[in-house]
Chains A and B, each alone.
Chain A
Amino acid sequence: MLDDLRDLYQEVIFDHNRNPRNFRAMDDADRQIDGFNPLCGDRLTLFIKVNDGKIIDASFQGQGCAISTASASLMTDIIKGQTEEEAQELFELFHKMATGEPVEMDDLGKLAVLAGVCEYPARVKCATLPWHTLDALLKGSEEPVTTE
């Protein structure tokens, strides 16, 4: 019945939703920021620890759907060890993928499991909320981020 939804809800997404990675508050974070989707009420707090321009730890907390939880889980995993510039570049790439612009999937690694959202306009913001939040954090903003 729901098989044709598998392009959106891949098993990896269910896995990250059930057991989100890096789902914790970080008391000694260098930076943290809130992200909010006023349309649906989803919210998350993103934490990072940076050393010499390199993201050495990342975590998040909050409430969201499977898509946004999996996206935050995958994101915090993948940016660990990246420089701020690399994470910024990845945000641009991810944003392109989620909104259906052509990108080289190999550059996105595990994040490619979220490529299906571009077919679901109402759900694109679920996947991009954690990334918009990261983008604001990297740009040094302290104001809560909204997707509107």
Chain B
Amino acid sequence: MIETNSNSMTYDVEKIRSDFPVLNQQVHGKPLVYLDNAATSQKPQAVIDSLVNYYANDNANIHRGVHTLSERATLAYENARKTVQVFLNASSEKEIVFTRGATEAINLVANGVAEYISAGDEILITAMEHHSNIVPWQMLCEKTGAILKVAPINEDGELLLEEFEALISKKTKFAALSHMSNALGTINPIKSLINLLHLSGVPVLIDGAQAIPHIPVDVQALGCEFYVFSGHKLYAPTGIGALYGQLDQLEKMVPYQGGGDMISMVTFDKTVYSKVPYKFEAGTPNIAGTIGLGAAIDYISQVGIDAIAAHENSLLEHAVEQSKNIKKLRIIGTAKNKGAILSFVLDGIHPHDIGTMMDHQGIAVRAGHHCAMPVMDFFGVPATARASFAMYNTHEEVDALMAGIENLIEMFG
């Protein structure tokens, strides 16, 4: 079975690969090398089975039936909430709200905090944010007259800490920061950033969409008011994610959507909302996806997030080392502290051509702006190619990536 300690010598990547059925296929006649994990990860059999089992045996609506299936479905759904609570080390399961993903979680918070944002207030983000952690705040600013402040980055793709600190003022009413950049791989020193913001009493949301499969997260140790992530980057199904919010923060926020399951009493005169987290979960939720998220967390907890991180870091190190042999290759994002993402450009070859040519060699990489157009503008490139690594990737796959790049450079002439 899977080793649970963090010694990479005992990390059984072949065993892990055998748990992911999708990896066992050929694309264009070549073995699939899946390196688009920052876009979405593949799903282990345990997650697929959890979905099948739910629909085959337990499917019912939750929180409303007294019949056996509804009780089973409710129990499975609420157990997943406990699993997420333990995974993030939240102090209460009430602090876990299920959402469609990180994007919806950020929109939920932006909608909720709008109540205490006024014209002239400032919202602080960084220059390396994904569009999902830019646009909801721009919408909030449009609605309230607040001003969006953007902390700059350097040529390595690292946040400029002095500039960040200088942007915090009495006007700063909220901050939303990426834990790890999806386009660059940069891991931000969020603990220090949160501390800095708290000195001025600024609540913080951490966008953990990219960090969550790679970095152990302890929300109590971090002290952030909100932490959001998507399940699908964490080996869980698409369409499910979670918002962690400190209880008092969640309690003072207005509901995001109205509907069933988020009320305790409705008359035509007045509606009393449910308590948290239910007041944020209107309508029948993604029950199967939530159960799948629980199964995914159980799976990676078995392997150990530290062991996964060590394995992925070793893949990244190998990739960076090997890429030095390719003269035309320039890495975009060279932060000292970065996760398993290799964003790159090739001199004279557009990333889209790289994407197609890699696909023809069975290698799936992302080519584009990675939903981070401001990052592309900063580095003066229209797009990059990006290889991103997950727990099931191997050093041989990194070698295949490099050989694939050499092949396409040769074809381009």
Contact = CB atoms under 8 A, between A and B. Distances in A.
Interface of A: 1-2, 4-5, 8-9, 14, 18, 39-43, 63-67, 69, 120, 122-123, 126
Contacts of A42: 352, 382-383
Contacts of B382: 40-43, 63-64
A117 B362 CA distance: 19
A67 B353 CA distance: 8
B368 A41 contact: yes
6 contacts: A5-B411, A9-B411, A40-B367, A40-B368, A43-B382, A122-B356
A44 to B, nearest CB: 11
Interface string B372-413: 010010000011000000000000000000000001100111
Contacts, number: 60
B383 A41 contact: yes
Given A39-B368, A40-B367, A41-B382, A2 B408 contact: yes
A123 B353 CA distance: 9
B360 A65 contact: no
B353 A66 contact: yes
B369 interface: yes
B383 A40 contact: yes
B361 interface: yes
Given A5-B411, A40-B369, A64 B360 contact: no
A14 B413 contact: yes
Contact of B357 (A5, A69, A122): A5
Contacts of B171: none
A8 B368 contact: no
A2 B357 contact: yes
B350 interface: yes
Given A41-B368, A126-B352, A2 B383 contact: no
Contact of B369 (A41, A120, A126): A41
A82 to B, nearest CB: 28
Nearest to B354: A65
A8 B407 CA distance: 16
Contact of A120 (B348, B350, B356, B413): B356
The A contact surface, by secondary structure, is mixed
Among A40, A67, A126, chain B packs the most CB atoms within 10 A around the CB of: A40
**Closest 5 A-B residue pairs measured CB to CB?**
A65-B350, A65-B352, A41-B369, A63-B382, A41-B382
Nearest to A63: B382
Contacts of A5: 356-357, 360, 411
Given A41-B369, A41-B383, A123-B356, A1 B407 contact: yes
Nearest to A15: B413
A2 B353 CA distance: 12
Nearest to B367: A40
Contacts of B407: 1-2
B352 A4 contact: no
Contacts of A2: 357, 360-361, 407-408, 411
B65 to A, nearest CB: 43
Interface string B323-356: 0000000000000000000000000111111011
A66 B376 CA distance: 19
A1 B361 contact: yes
Nearest to A1: B407
Among B367, B408, B411, chain A packs the most CB atoms within 10 A around the CB of: B411
A65 B353 contact: yes
A5 B412 CA distance: 11
A63 B380 CA distance: 11
A122 B356 CA distance: 9
A64 B350 contact: yes
A2 B409 CA distance: 11
A41 B356 contact: no
Contacts of A64: 350, 382
Among B352, B408, B411, B412, chain A packs the most CB atoms within 10 A around the CB of: B352
Contacts of A41: 368-369, 373, 376, 382-383
A39 B373 CA distance: 11
A1 B351 CA distance: 19
Contact of B350 (A4, A8, A43, A66): A66
A2 B367 CA distance: 18
Contacts of B349: 66
A18 B367 CA distance: 20
A2 B406 CA distance: 11
B57 to A, nearest CB: 38
A124 to B, nearest CB: 12
A3 to B, nearest CB: 9
Contacts of A4: 28, 360
B351 to A, nearest CB: 8
B61 to A, nearest CB: 37
Among A42, A65, A66, chain B packs the most CB atoms within 10 A around the CB of: A65
B32 to A, nearest CB: 16
